[in-house]
Amino acid sequence: MVLTTAAGPSADPYPAPAPVAPLVLGVQARYDAVRADIAKALETAKRVRDSGMRHTLEAFAGRQFLSFDARGTGRAVEVLGDLEHADRVAVVVPGADSDLGNFDSRKWAGGAARSLAAQMRSVDPGAHVAVIAWLGYDSPSTLGFDILSDGTAKDGARGLRRLVADVRSVNPTARMTLLCHSYGSVVCTNALKGTDVQAVALFGSPGTDGPETVRALGTSAHVWAGRGTDDWVQLVPHARLFGIGFGTDPVSDGFGADVFDAGSAQHSDYLKPGTRSLLNLSRIALGRDSEVSRA
């Protein structure tokens, strides 16, 4: 998390982002508009001497962001690759404790997306790949009450559906895959119904937030699930009581997902370079289903 010396939540110094035009009116225009928002936020970080945010935003300069908001713990949606002409688009949906300060870390949205993009190009050098790092919701803290229920996930799901619709407006034919980690898998299961994607992978998941089977998700997407043998999330009770908890385990036999081999992945290491989990997730994102090793 970015540590600010400037102000607490009641006096956030950062400006709201400017309204953006629909993506269909120009992808490059969107990138340029968001760069302007990042530049304004950087000016604020310098003015209020917020060294953590300043370091983060300086690293964002010149990159391709579809949206950005420095307020609170922050939001950012970055594109790696040519979104308009890709034939494979993968969206990395991170879990709890995600914020602007850790965005580029290997274990979080931006860093994980870079690992995935590199692996996809290694598996299929001829594929035209775009990977989206989607921190498009207010990720809950594992130390807060929000992590115990799905309210934040439902809000995030609305934003994720908007992202998919935006991408479809400029690239209607690409194969789209959602790669959903931990609490991000709760966001994805809430977003799937009516969302135009071809595959979804739920990994390190605390539960599916209601649906007890793949059929109940209301999607035609190919549903995958995986959990590393060293992931502590296997100790989380898969139950839901008085609105607390997330219910069905997506790797359970009764749910009906295709379970991929995630090796010995720990909870935050599914997209770590050199791992079996990353290799299989890249194959899923590429649509190379027959090459995915099963658990």
**Residue 105's pLDDT band (boundaries 50, 70, 90)?**
very high
Q: How many angstroms from the chain centroid is the CA of residue 176?
A: 13
Q: How many angstroms from the chain centroid is the CA of residue 109?
A: 6
Q: Is the pLDDT reported for residue 188 higher than 90?
A: yes
| CA pair distance 93, 269, nearest whole angstrom | 14
Tell me the domains of the chain and their CATH numbers. Answer: 1-65 (no CATH), 73-291 (3.40.50.1820)
In 48-175, which residue ranges form alpha helices assigned H by DSSP? 51-60, 109-123, 151-170
Q: How many angstroms from the chain centroid is the CA of residue 118?
A: 17
Q: Is the pLDDT reported for residue 6 higher than 70?
A: no
pLDDT in tens, 269-279: 999 999 999 99
CB 175 within 8 A of CB 287: yes
The model scores a pTM over 0.85: yes
The reported pLDDT for the residue numbered 80 is 98
* Residue 116: closest CA among 65, 151, 78: 78
The count of C-alpha atoms lying within 13 angstroms of the C-alpha of 190, restricted to the half-sphere facing its C-beta, is 21
| CA pair distance 267, 278, nearest whole angstrom | 13
Question: Mean pLDDT in the chain?
Answer: 92
CA torsion sign, 64 to 9 to 189 to 117?
positive
